[in-house]
Structure 1
Amino acid sequence: MAGSILITGANGTLAIPAVEYLLKNYPDHTALLTVRDLSDADPNTNKLREVISRYPGARAFTYQLDLTSLSDTHQFANTLSKYIQTNQIPPLKSILCNACYWDLVADSELTEDGYDKTFQINHISHVALVLKLLDRFASDGGRIVLFSSEAHSPGRAILEKIPPAIPDDIDLLIKPAVYADKAAGGFHRYGNSKLVITSWTHAFNRYLEKDPGLQNITAVAYNPGGLVDSRIFDKNTSLTLSLLMRYIIQPLLPLMRYANPQMRLGAESAVDAIELALDHIYPGERGYFELLQKDESSPESRDEVKQERLWVKSAEWANITKENTALRADFK
């Protein structure tokens, strides 16, 4: 049987069609699907269950995972590791770090770990999850897909008012400044998280390539495009933005594409994400991808000095040490 595909935020706009595409086209793989709320009260989790039920012969398992809690994230990684070690599920072929969060209507909210919620969900907890599971990949390796965005690059995102930047005081990423304009501050936190993800991915690849036991694992920072039907526009955003996306942008998407080819639907990016995760697109390649094209990320994300600072701090924030990851790297 082929390897396992781990997808976080598996009941999201991109993830649900991605799961369906995986189960329909690659039923020999095992889908490991995490959601924040596994109860029947969550309508999006129920949609995910409906998709899974259409493929009774496929192997798909759902798990509850709260990425706002490092304790929960580490515990989940440990449990999954044991399942793989004891052959209850196949070794990993890919991890898609799809779960995402923003808040454009309030100031930064700190998690139980004391980190900005946007930054922890989008980056820190995924760092913990990925680094703890590296030794559970199949012997022939695999690919890790970390989700970037055009928001990581200054001047590209329409909602940007404050350009994303890696601050000199790097702890401002986990405890951000407060802005009078809540939408500007919220999108700044989101853009910064995507910048850090992209920058960290470059450093991650360098360490993977240096490690004889892990060099056949590749990492990509994937910009799936601006998903106009994303559920992210229905929560923690202004009513104006939500209505604009639903009743103007979505219906006019065919015309909008001419002005901005990045605008697309979640189901379109879902197919690309799975093909990328299975290493069918640019097999063995690493780095940054715009949709399915290998590209250069922003200049700041390619600054190796900043990449190394983020590498060290991300491990510290995520409680990763030489003792709980298989990667041979600098953890200070």
Structure 2
Amino acid sequence: MPGTIIITGANGSLAIPAVQHLLTKYSEYTAVLTVRNTSELDPNTGRLHEAIAPFKSRTSVRRLNLSSLAEVKDFAQIVATEIASGTLPPLKSIICNAYYWNLAGEAETTDDDLDKTFQVNHISHAALVLRLLGSFRPSPGEDLGRIVLFGSDAHWPGKNGLEKYPPTIPEDLEVLVKPPPKNDDLAGRGFHQYALSKLAVIMWMYALNRHLSKNENLKGITAVAINPGNLSDSRALRTNTPWILRSMSRFIIRPLKPLLSLMDPTMRTSAEAGVDVAELAVGETYAGEEGFFTLLQKDDSSPESQDAEKQEKLWKKTLEWAQISPMDTAMAIE
């Protein structure tokens, strides 16, 4: 049955192979691909256009800046209208792939006066998902649709080599969106903020599944959070990072990937991860799955991420940050 798949950050290292796999293997689907810069002169967007050239009738590349909640709202309204009118098929999956981190500069604030890392990675994706829940197939079914969120081993204290400050949800949740100054520890504090955003993504995923199950008309939509692995060729290692990490990426991680994979089973290429993400989003094998995955294996997330009380507290605060009222979503919210 035809359906629409939305992928954010669609010109990323992992996203392009995911898009190619989806369009090649699943001919019934239409892809709405969002990027910050839609110009083919942008090298990353240019590569995306090359990848989708054989599938132009089933794809569209659209601008979406996740640093702006106003843009998220406008984009969601346009897509919802197109689905309601039949211009696009109903949603099948939203793949929340876009990310941001800054390990080489001071913390940045968005137009919404929120920390950029936390807004792009968590809040704006939450807003996008909640605004588009009503655009999934109108009749509840066993596999109505899937939402794929991105976690990371960084959410679990002690599991990532870049960690300097263990991530934990503070009592005052406002600290997440208005973090303290980095005080010259750009890499350490920057990675800490990234890890916190991934912890929030995973906690919100659990809460989202709980709330979806309480809404009769949304049963059959499920959410997963995947740790796609440590990607040896990811542009993330060379973007907003200190020279030492860029050098490690070029001279150690990429050349020694086969050896490093023996020590870290999650070390792999972006293309391998992209195929897994695509299958998790629409593959029949994963119909109805929910929860946390490492690669394509169901896994336990950190103990703190499984704290239901903290999940609900974060859920309510996310609604506030994302500017979601009962009028903005098909989900019944208090």
TM bin (shorter chain) = over 0.9
Structure 2 distance, partners of 1:171, 1:281, is 39
Residue 279 of structure 1, CA deviation: 4.3
1:176-325 to 2 correspondences below 5 Å: 176-180=179-183, 181-325=185-329
CA distance, structure 1, for counterparts of residue 285 and residue 227 of structure 2: 14
Q: When the two structures are aligned, how many residues end up with a matched partner?
A: 329
Aligned-residue RMSD, C-alpha: 1.1
TM-score between both structures, scaled by the size of structure 2: 0.96
> 1:165 matched to which residue of 2?
168
Residue 6 of structure 1 aligns to which amino acid in structure 2?
I
- Which whole-Å deviations, capped at 9, do the CAs of 1:173-193 have from their partners, x for residues lacking one? 001122331100000000000
**Could you say which residue in structure 2 is the equivalent of 1:67?**
66
Which blocks of at least 5 consecutive residues in structure 2 are unaligned? none
Moved more, 46-55 or 196-205: 46-55
Tell me which residue corresponds to 2:333: 329
Partner SS for 2:61? strand
Provide the identity percentage: 52
The superposition leaves residues 14-63 of structure 1 with CA deviations (integer Å, 9 ceiling, x where unpaired) of: 0001111111111221011000001133110010000111335x501110
Structure 2 CA distance, aligned partners of 1:284 and 1:22?
18
Cα offset, 1:282, TM superposition: 3.2
Report the equivalent of 1:136: 135
Render the CA deviation track for 1:283-318: whole Å, top value 9, x for unaligned: 212111111111111011000111011000001000
The one-letter code matched in structure 2 to 1:123 is H
Name 1:127's counterpart in structure 2: 126
CA contact (8 A) 2:9 2:34 kept: yes
Which one-letter code corresponds to 1:52 in the other structure? I
Moved over 4 A (4+): none
Q: Secondary structure in 1 aligned to 2:217?
A: coil
Q: TM-score, normalised by structure 1?
A: 0.97
Deviation of the 1:2 alpha carbon: 1.4
Matched with 1:175 is 178
Residues 238, 249 of structure 2: 8 Å contact kept: no
Provide the rounded CA distance (Å) in 2 between the counterparts of 1:279 and 1:206: 23
Give 1:9-20 correspondences, 5 Å limit.
9-20=9-20
- AA in 1 matched with 2:82: Y
The answer to whether the 8 Å contact 1:143/1:279 transfers is no
- Structure 1 unaligned segments of length 5 or more: list them: none
Residue of structure 2 equivalent to 1:80: 79
What secondary structure sits across from 2:218 in the alignment? coil
